[in-house]
A = this chain, B = another copy of it.
Amino acid sequence: MTQTSQFEENIITTEQVAQHNTRESCWIIVHGKVYDVTEFLPEHPGGSRIILKYAGKDATAEYDPIHPPDAITENLPPSKHLGVVDPASVEEKVTEMTEEEKQVAQRHQSKPPLSECLSLHDIETVARYVMADKAWMYYSSGADDEMTMRENHNAYHRIWFRPRILRDVTEVKFDTKILGHSTQMPLYITATALGKLGHPDGELNLTRSAAKNGIIQMIPTLASCSFDDIRGAATPDQVQFLQLYVNKNREVTERIVRRAEKSGIKGLFVTVDAPQLGRREKDMRMKFDDVGSKEQAESGENVDRSQGAARAISSFIDPSLNWNDLKWIFSITKMPIILKGVQCWQDAVMAAKSGCAGVVLSNHGGRQLDFAPSGIEILPEVMAALKHANVDSSSFEVYVDGGVRRASDILKAVALGAKAVGIGRPFIYAYSAYGEAGVNRAMDILRDEFEMCMRLLGARSLDEVTPEMVNAANLTNVDIPRDYLFHSNYERLNGLHGKIDVTRGSKL
């Protein structure tokens, strides 16, 4: 910030900028400031071509939804921050909608009223319908063959209830505490990146709905909105956590952590399952559709093509992060530290022994290592191992995320020992489809499901949701999702069926 301020007085006209529109000299405008990105072109994780498209022009609209607000200032040396645009030189451009934007708008017109959404699945259906392709693909994609992503959801289906009858369930409650902070339901809004892809208000939709519904939000490192904006949108007493990607540059991380603690953040969730971001082919494929792979191929440019939106924004993440670094993190903050992305009981025990306040059993929504187990599948063995290691459950909490769509899913996790679950995609889908009202509706639906499920289970409070209330005997019998890529290449055996019409029309 201070670095760029010295250039603030430097006034540049749009005409001047327009002259630097080549690979040899490439200036762009972002948020009214002018940057020289010529030397940065080959380093841009998303390839140089996408920048060159805006050489000499204002790139803000393209830049905004897929970069953290301070990405450009963090990545460019101060010397490349050239100055501010002369407002007088800016032509009042009538921003015309693209064809896709028009279609998105049209679909928003014809979507069903929010009240017709009866489940989180319904809301997701509408999101899939209205969202722009790039946004939908970025949010909905998983790693490789998406085995883990689908298993995350499927695993819940292998847990069945053992409901109890004849208990007075007039009043049922399902509030609890997470790290000592109250929540109206045993869930929190987990961190997800690039929130503005789905809605111009991005993560603020979540902040506002979280306040209204007594739910805790975890603020993502890769938010589209700035940390300050998100904190600013919170009510005075609203509890928020922070998700942290540790930067190769530890000073940056320290700055982030201290700022968070100072601003009142109540817990720090350090992501440990993403030393490198996973291959998400749906997301990666959008890139080709976008920038015209053929042309690019012909231009001879040698970009790293194994990149979708996610990877493009994550090159700062430090793959060297290890258990020793935890000590350093403990040294710079008093916030409770939770490891997000634990995938086996051994690491859960190590986290407890290392002084963490908890772990999230998570595989990053199936977006990292394909064939990583679902959090819910390993929950029973993690709980058993923690007990065996004499970890005090009152000072070490276990959360699970991934695949949750119903209150019944959450109650299964609670029955097996989870303090709460994290929910990510469903809430982004909700605001992508209906803005903040969509998130509120999702909360309403979950609350209604909780009430019903608690009554039908025969549990008046979460204390009564015990391991005996579920049958998890089949939990580890993973039902493998279909490998679509393999199956569609498999040439189906036809025998003579391909040659004669055995059905003879409708005769048989």
Contacts and interface: CB of A to CB of B under 8 A. Distances in A.
Interface of A: 103, 107, 110-119, 121-122, 124-126, 128-129, 133, 136-137, 140-141, 144-147, 150, 153-154, 157-170, 272-276, 278-279, 281-282, 284-285, 288, 293-294, 296-297, 305-306, 319-323, 325-326, 339, 341-344, 346-347, 368-373, 405-406, 408, 412, 448-449, 451-453, 455-457, 471, 473-474, 476-480, 483-486, 488-502, 504, 506-508
A160 B371 contact: yes
B478 A160 contact: yes
B113 A294 contact: yes
The oligomer's copy count stands at 4
B116 A347 contact: no
Nearest to A288: B116
Contacts of A154: 480, 483
Nearest to A130: B500
Interface centre among A344, A373, A478, A502 (most CB of B within 10 A): A502
A441 to B, nearest CB: 10
Given A319-B455, A476-B473, A500-B110, A144 B370 contact: no
B165 A339 contact: yes
Contacts of A494: 484, 488
Contacts of A282: 491, 493
A428 B343 CA distance: 37
B121 A486 contact: yes
A68 B491 CA distance: 27
A243 B504 CA distance: 35
24 contacts: A113-B294, A115-B293, A118-B279, A118-B306, A118-B495, A119-B281, A121-B486, A126-B496, A136-B508, A141-B491, A144-B406, A160-B478, A161-B371, A162-B373, A163-B343, A165-B341, A168-B321, A170-B320, A319-B455, A369-B408, A373-B471, A484-B493, A488-B497, A498-B506
Contact of A116 (B153, B278, B293, B486): B293
A346 B164 contact: yes
A476 B169 CA distance: 29
A360 B133 CA distance: 45
A507 B456 CA distance: 33
Given A145-B406, A161-B372, 12 more contacts: A115-B296, A118-B281, A118-B306, A121-B489, A128-B502, A140-B491, A165-B341, A166-B272, A166-B347, A373-B471, A477-B477, A491-B508
A425 B380 CA distance: 38
A145 to B, nearest CB: 7
Contacts of A293: 112-113, 115-116
Given A164-B344, A341-B165, A119 B495 contact: yes
Interface centre among A116, A147, A284, A323 (most CB of B within 10 A): A116
Contact of A297 (B113, B157, B323): B113
A469 to B, nearest CB: 9
Contacts of A273: 163, 165, 456
Nearest to A123: B496
Interface centre among A111, A115, A153 (most CB of B within 10 A): A115
Contacts of A107: 504
Contacts of A408: 144, 369-371
A112 B323 CA distance: 45
Contact of A480 (B115, B158, B297, B370): B158
Nearest to A342: B165
Given A166-B323, A452-B278, A128 B489 contact: yes
A163 B323 contact: no
Q: Which 9 residue pairs across A and B have the least CB separation, nearest first?
A: A121-B485, A369-B456, A165-B272, A168-B320, A170-B320, A125-B496, A157-B480, A113-B297, A484-B493
A249 to B, nearest CB: 14
A161 B373 contact: yes
A282 to B, nearest CB: 7
Contacts of A485: 119, 121-122, 125, 405, 493, 495, 497
A319 B484 contact: no
Nearest to A444: B306
A298 B305 CA distance: 49
A148 to B, nearest CB: 8
Contacts of A347: 164-166
Nearest to A323: B166
Contacts of A449: 144, 279
Contacts of A158: 478, 480
A158 B479 CA distance: 9
B372 A163 contact: yes
Nearest to A363: B163
A161 B143 CA distance: 14
A245 to B, nearest CB: 14
